[in-house]
Chains A and B, each alone.
Chain A
């Protein structure tokens, strides 16, 4: 069974600064995907960024980038130029790669990020 661990229950950052959220995972699968999802207060969960495990290059999406260390089973999220709208719960999630479509997501417990003005 896969497990996802987010060791930082809460973090805060000043607007315009950079913050890194940590995530580690455990799996025996060799092919899988990793995701960061964002859940603003009382709003739906939305995808921030996705990493395919067979790709060595770290994924980037505008101000969001990841540091994927496959051997260490580490998948951290870096948010640059933090904005007030980045305030949310951030969940790291694992999904094994399968033929025929996506599978269930395994989530960590989340990190509550607060961006201060």
Chain B
């Protein structure tokens, strides 16, 4: 089963370091989403892509955050100069592009811990 894959599963880093996460969506899915989930909260939308085009970014996505999907397949989410408040689970999801508004399929997430 080729579900949504995220790497790494866990990342521990010191404050001020840069980190990069990778997401591989389900192969036939053109839309790819990033969410952030802090402890005890529901996921919050960060950004999403249609193929390689970034269609929407949340105001939560400060200038320290950047996301790319260069060839319309996998995506990376980079956080520069990490801060304590960046500690969270980063979830990736994907869905097909059609007019039926199919539900999003989620990966296992990357848990980021800032020391």
Contact = CB atoms under 8 A, between A and B. Distances in A.
B92 to A, nearest CB: 10
B95 interface: yes
A44 B56 contact: no
A31 to B, nearest CB: 9
The B interface is mostly helix, strand or loop, or mixed, namely loop
A101 B98 contact: yes
A99 B100 CA distance: 8
A106 interface: yes
Interface residues of A, number: 28
B47 to A, nearest CB: 9
A100 B108 contact: no
Interface string A42-84: 0111110010000000000000000000000000000000000
A35 interface: yes
B95 A102 contact: yes
Contacts of A47: 103, 105
A97 B101 CA distance: 7
Contacts of B108: 43-44
B45 A110 contact: no
B106 A110 contact: no
B104 to A, nearest CB: 6
A107 B42 contact: yes
Interface residues of B, number: 31
Given A45-B106, A109-B40, A101 B30 contact: yes
Contacts of B103: 35, 47, 50, 102
Interface in B44-98: 44-45, 48, 50, 56, 91, 93, 95-98
A95 interface: yes
B22 interface: no
B102 interface: yes
Q: Name, among B31, B43, B91, B99, the residue most crowded by chain A CB atoms within 10 Å (CB to CB).
A: B43
Interface of B: 3-4, 30-31, 33, 35, 40-45, 48, 50, 56, 91, 93, 95-99, 101-109
